[in-house]
A = this chain, B = another copy of it.
Amino acid sequence: MTLQELKYIVSVAEEKHFGRAAERCFVSQPSLSAAIRNLEDELGVKLFERGKTGVLLTDAGERVVGQARRVLQEADRVKLIAKSGRNPLAGVLRLGVIPTIAPYLLPDLVQALRGAAPQMPLDIEENLTANLEALLRAGSIDAAILALPFDAPGTETLTLYDEEFQVVVPAKHPWAKRKSIAIGELDPASLLLLPVGHCFRNQVLDACGEFASAPAPGRQGNSLETLRSMVASGLGLTVLPATALTARHAQSLVKAVPFDEPRPIRRVAIAWRSGFPRLSAVRAVGEAARGLKLPIVPAG
């Protein structure tokens, strides 16, 4: 039984004439006759009574044709659904974002995408890089915005931008008035860091050339905002990325001071599975991120 055959019987049922039905199906009359004969044989029922006074539907034919119409209708909906899914910029994009980027990038990114891809809502998964990698490879998310390096096998990345690191000190701290600070000046004992697992923690440690002694466990905050508050309360100082230091996140009790040149940075990228079919959706997200008015350096 084929969809073709079902189309044929519906056509004959409507035309009550093999010749005209064949014409309507753009086939020759013998082809249509043979196809219908095939179907009748397969179903084991005569669907039409070929009489002198035209073609009549048998009782079984009536019911089969009715059901055939339903099948064809559902089949048409397959095409409609496919058509609606043809636009890569339509449909939910499941996007992972690491916690040190999400709160600073997403508000503007979402806003930008409402213009660039209005039919593509973002389903955001905020998680650590290692978890995002697993989710990405398992297909639970479609793409992830995170910091490089990221070399999960079977994935590709597109660099979005670089952002500087800055030292954040209490407003009354002697460094608050400095123009810049050398990396070597940082004291591991007073540096507040994110917990293990956050890539930003390692990036800061890398930038500082790894301290000999590990920071004390107590000197940690679970988010960048917590770190900022801890600095404001005078517990120590920390390092934050530039996107966390815009006017929107200003705090009168703390002051951000750049590093000496060359200033340490992190490179932010979007990653996806090799072969992910909605590459242009990923690209749209990337373009939107690059176009934002944030303290970022267009890179790559």
Decide if B86 touches A44 in the complex (CB within 8 Å). Answer: yes
The docked-state distance in angstroms from the alpha carbon of A60 to that of B91 is 8
Chain B hits for A276, CB < 8 A? 49
Interface residue? A45 (CB, 8 A): yes
List 18 additional A-B contacts (Cβ < 8 Å) besides A44-B83, A49-B139: A2-B2, A43-B82, A43-B83, A45-B86, A51-B154, A52-B274, A53-B154, A58-B278, A59-B278, A60-B85, A60-B91, A63-B85, A67-B78, A67-B81, A70-B74, A71-B71, A71-B78, A74-B74
Chain B hits for A43, CB < 8 A? 78-79, 82-83, 86
Interface residue? A6 (CB, 8 A): yes
Chain B hits for A75, CB < 8 A? 1, 6, 71
- CB contact list, A20-72 vs B, under 8 A: 43-46, 49-53, 56, 58-60, 63-64, 67-68, 70-71
Decide if B85 touches A49 in the complex (CB within 8 Å). Answer: no
Chain B hits for A74, CB < 8 A? 67, 70-71, 74
Interface residue? A214 (CB, 8 A): no
Within the complex, what minimum Cβ distance (angstroms) separates A30 from chain B?
A: 19
Decide if A64 touches B78 in the complex (CB within 8 Å). Answer: yes
Interface residue? A250 (CB, 8 A): no
The docked-state distance in angstroms from the alpha carbon of A4 to that of B5 is 13
The docked-state distance in angstroms from the alpha carbon of A278 to that of B49 is 10
Can you list 29 contacts pairing A with B, beta carbon distance less than 8 Å?
A1-B78, A1-B79, A43-B86, A44-B82, A44-B83, A44-B86, A45-B82, A49-B139, A49-B277, A50-B275, A51-B137, A51-B139, A51-B273, A51-B274, A52-B154, A52-B274, A53-B137, A58-B277, A58-B278, A59-B278, A60-B81, A60-B85, A60-B91, A64-B82, A67-B74, A67-B78, A71-B71, A71-B75, A71-B78
Count A-side interface residues using an 8 Å CB cutoff. 47
* A residues at B contact (CB < 8 Å): 1-4, 6, 43-46, 49-53, 56, 58-60, 63-64, 67-68, 70-71, 74-75, 77-79, 81-83, 85-86, 91-92, 137-139, 153-154, 273-278
The docked-state distance in angstroms from the alpha carbon of A261 to that of B3 is 66
Chain B hits for A6, CB < 8 A? 75, 78
